[in-house]
Amino acid sequence: MSHPILACRGVAKLYGARASRFVRDGRFAGAPEELAAAGVVAAVRDVDLEIARGETFVIMGLSGSGKSTLVRCLSALTPPSAGEVLFEGRNLSTMAEGDLLQIRRHQMGMVFQNFALLPHLTVLGNVAFPLDVQGVKKTEREAKALEMIRLVGLSGREGRFPRELSGGQQQRVGIARSLAVKPDLWFLDEPFSALDPLIRREMQDEVLRLQGLLKKTIVFITHDFDEAVRIADRIAIMKDGRIEQIGTAEELLLRPATDYVRAFTQEAPRAKILTARAVMAPAPSGAEFAGRVDARARVASFAHEVEAAERPFAVVDGGAVIGVVDRLAMIDVLVGRERKAVAA
């Protein structure tokens, strides 16, 4: 059978002088007050998740929610205090040092929040760095690096030093570098948080474009729900070191597991999240339709046409009409009302 590319079970990370005792007793899942009283900080508690090959998985949380610690556990930068992280079914923390080195050299790539570019190397040197570490010959690694630099649209700047580039360009270098080894698993740790909002949007498009091209498995960390929505196949929302809920953006919006998740999704751009299936009403028999929309299409993609038409649109799934959407449904989505039956 094929394993999920990355999975973790019962992962916890505790900091503090007496952390190890809590881990031994298995008490880290308990109330944070008890831990805090003992001077122990539980950055991550009890996290289970599976990430499927080719999926874009976003871990979202505010600062201090433990998302950065979690991604460091997932990438084996820090060993978890408890639980296991499995990469293609192999436990990263018990694996031999040499095997882990090989996985990192060939199967993982990471983009950092503050770019982590080496100041003494040019763009070309930075992108070629992971290959240099592997001992790839100079001509070969520079050819590969140039290809990556072209991919992220920085051709002609390969001789520049990092400090001569804008923030967005620097992160493009970071992206090119993380892709140079052609990794299967691509970590992006708040890659755009240090950038201006406009640049951030542009870079999100860039990631979407690259993902369309390369089809990597992505683990993306962010504190920005809108960013998560734009990029994610699935989103995990974290709070106080725990995962509150994992699901597609639409699932989080429609069926929030906790009040915390609901609070997050309330202000979300509903039209960009909800699909036709989620907002449709049962189709009255023999109705006439102004047009048809796919059940998986986002509301934002057809709202304009539906609004302009007098009659409702049919929602189709594989050719069969399964419901209708009309102007009223569009307004419901916009103002965030619960769905009512279309004027019966």
Point out which residues bind another protein (CB under 8 A).
72, 75, 77, 101-106, 108-110, 112-116, 118-121, 129-130, 132-134, 159-161, 163-164, 181, 187
Q: Which is nearer to another protein, 191 or 312 (CB)?
A: 191
| Closest distance of CB 220 from another protein, Å | 15
| Closest distance of CB 145 from another protein, Å | 13
| Closest distance of CB 130 from another protein, Å | 4
| Closest distance of CB 67 from another protein, Å | 15
Q: Which is nearer to another protein, 125 or 256 (CB)?
A: 125
| Closest distance of CB 320 from another protein, Å | 48
User: Nearest-CA neighbor of 270 among 229, 328, 309, 314?
Assistant: 229
Q: Which is nearer to another protein, 187 or 264 (CB)?
A: 187
Q: Which is nearer to another protein, 118 or 143 (CB)?
A: 118
| Closest distance of CB 116 from another protein, Å | 4
Angstrom distance (rounded) from CA 127 to CA 169: 13
Q: Which is nearer to another protein, 218 or 253 (CB)?
A: 218
| Closest distance of CB 95 from another protein, Å | 13
Q: Which is nearer to another protein, 177 or 234 (CB)?
A: 177
Q: How far is CA 268 from the centre of its chain?
A: 16
Q: Which is nearer to another protein, 187 or 302 (CB)?
A: 187
